[in-house]
Structure 1
Amino acid sequence: MLVHPQFDPVAINLGFFQIHWYGLTYLAAFGLFYLLATRRIRHAPYAAGGWTAREVEDLLFFGVLGVILGGRIGYVLFYKPGYYLANPLEIFAVWKGGMAFHGGLLGVLVAMVVFARLRGRRFFEVTDLVAPCVPTGLACGRLGNFINGELWGRAADASLPWAMVFPQSGSELPRHPSQLYQFALEGLALFVLLWFYGRSRGAHTSAAGGVVWGRVSGAFLVGYGSFRFIAEYFREPDSFLGLLALNLSMGQWLCVPMIVAGALIWWWAGRSAVAR
């Protein structure tokens, strides 16, 4: 049975200035997004669409705003609305933690709508570009969770070779290192699937030869929602919520509409090809 190594959450301490590992994982996430997106605009059909590295930089700026604002607002509304209603100033105390992926996703979608309108791009053209570049950022975030020893897993059989004790949980129970499960599923596996699918002819070309927008975005929603739903069976539910109806966590319930929406978008995209 392993014990969480209790990393110092501060990566660089200059006394008057501290840089946390979690902040570095966000920085790595944004850097990987830029690297992948600038490569993706060289692929069909983006190569013929006039996309530039400068547009990717602007897209990243909009995305960062969407992630931070949406992630925080989503956490407030989805997980602790009563607490923050009673303590509204705590909403701005982001250094205390509290970000929700599903809220961050909604924030990014709003940011993409604004970006698409300002640049005269189709919405799903933008989201199809973004989708394969997101999972590596999610992987970075889950590594940050593991380093911080937070969002630990449910109790596991002590005979499980990688079962781990998280002292931060307040118990000596062996647990699933669910952060690493999510790193592998929502991060690495989803990235590989979307990257190669996004480069395939079927992702962007209809049988009639028109350009298809939306299939990659739909695949992202279905893929992330499915992987997250599975991982939630190994992740300890939030103590202030516990398990909800049908013994599902809040994270799982939020994944259900995501999977349904993704499947509908993928189906709709195949019927809405645009002429070249």
Structure 2
Amino acid sequence: MTQAPAQLFDRRTLAARRARRRPDALFLHQMARDEAEDRLSMVNRRFTTPAVVCPFPEVWEGFLPGAAVVPDDDVLTLEEGAHDVLIHAMCLHWANDPVGQLIQCRRALKEDGLLLVVMLGGHTLQELRAAMAEAETVVMGGLSPRVAPMGEIRDLGGLLQRAGFALPVADLVPLTAEYRNLTHLIHDLRGMGETNALAQRLKNPAPRALFELADHIYQKHFANLEGRLPATFELVCLTGWSPSDNQQKPLRPGSARMRLADALRVPETKLKP
């Protein structure tokens, strides 16, 4: 009998965390919407059958007329081949099977349809990770899963290719928010539904001494001149197109009709053996 693979995230706990969201804390989701609007405005195409996959549909109200808005469940409730553009917004970093999510998105797109993913990337909360790790080593005598791992941009771009998308592009938008102290930061993370939902997290409440020491370490190593704590957030943007025979194709190696030196109008330099 085949055993089901271990799940990285506890989706039931994640849903409970998200249910306690606060509208004033969803600034990252609003910035993701702004990024999506800017990027779609640069695409010379009129989209007529859009869809949005997201955890908080209220953020995306009125984004694209007639858009289907669905939750980021393990199985997406999207009809196959029904959409010409699909936005996957601020939830791929919580997927137990990110490639599977992207494959479902590709199948939901029409031929030559556009996928735009906005998600949190690898440097997100790097200061918090460092402070909590050092504090936990001192107070608890070891480390436990507290901040979810997030992909680096070079790896995330490869997910699009693995999922079968053409013309993949990955870039990032670095952001920094400032907080009075660690309590203020954690309050905001709770308000945006981004606190610990790892399946292997410790279930017992952490001692107060852990957070007191983490706050001290955060202040010592990262506080700015005004005494406030910076928190890094990385918005990674991935774009890819469902395959089509009409799309541009890369040239075969050796098929160039002009030497690089001629194109640049410079003398050709031959390498010595």
What is the TM-score normalised by the length of structure 2?
A: 0.27
Higher relative contact order (CA 8 A, sep 6+): 2
Q: Which has the higher helix share?
A: 1
Larger Rg: 2
TM-score by length of 1: 0.27
Bigger fraction of residues in strand: 2
